Amino acid sequence: MKTVKDRFLKYVSFDTQSQDGVEEVPSTAKQLELAKFLVEELKEFGLSEVELLDHGYVFATLPATTERDLPVLGFVAHMDTSDAISGANIKPREIENYDGKDIVLNEALNVVMKVSDFPVLPEFKGETLIVTDGTTLLGADDKAGIAEIMSMVAYFKEHSEIEHGKIRIGFTPDEEVGNGTKYFDVDKFGADYAYTVDGGRLGELEYENFNAAGGRVVINGVSIHPGSAKWKMKDAIRIAMEFQSMLPVYEDPYCTEGYEGFFISPR
């Protein structure tokens, strides 16, 4: 039987980066490759209502094993990965019995995960970690969630004596670019309660969600020879700086935490 690690390592072999600024969902066709793979895997499990829907959503049903009238539970994870750094040709590496110290991801490029930057690292001392070679992201966000859901399905299929109600499975595209739920058909999904498996620490349950809204600012400068530029040249970078300076100084990620809102200009 495949382990959750086996599944995870397989899923991260798919390059599923989404692309910001694209209205079409999914924003990249390569996300569909993982979607199709998951559909076949769900069918192999013997699940019902396995569908690859428009816009790349994957839905499936794990039928109830009891006649009791129980709520329908849903479990959701997203297939895409961030476009902040490459998601292609990922080279996972396992660190067994982690010593709780700095992790050298790539010695040649001097890429190091320092405890001073990530104070949470020592909490995983003695565990087995999976890391990259420092040139790509890993894709645990959220292929770890997909692996967990698929392993749950495999466990329930292997242990049919465990009573449970109907369970709905959903895998979504484009979460990283803010469009993960744009075409998510809530009625068709049909869950009474659903959980997004995209959290942090083991055992952590988040019952509130982060809300954000975005906008796109396009600044067009006016180029002219500097010798005759007075009152004519418009420097797009200078205008962008002026725009940034109008945002509240302390409502910035650097100065906020918890429920405090912030403005950010990522690009």
Tokens of 181: 């739920």
- In which element (H, E) is residue 103 found? strand 103-106
Burial tier of 76 (Cβ tally within 10 Å: 0-12, 13-18, 19+): buried
Find the Cα–Cα–Cα–Cα dihedral 186, 188, 193, 199, rounded to 10°.
-60
Rama region for 229: left / alpha / beta (φ>0; ψ in -120 to 50; rest): alpha
Measured at the alpha carbon of residue 171, what is the angle toward residues 189 and 40, in degrees to the nearest 5? 100
Residues with active-site annotation = 80, 175
Cβ 74 vs Cβ 168: under 8 Å: yes
What distance in Å separates the CA atoms of residue 56 and residue 242, rounded to the nearest whole number? 40
What distance in Å separates the CA atoms of residue 209 and residue 198, rounded to the nearest whole number? 12
Tokens of 106: 């790539």
> How far from the centroid of its chain's Cα atoms is residue 216's Cα?
22
Q: What distance separates the 2 farthest-apart alpha carbons in the chain?
A: 83
What distance in Å separates the CA atoms of residue 166 and residue 34, rounded to the nearest whole number? 25
Cβ atoms within 10 A of the Cβ of 136, count? Answer: 18
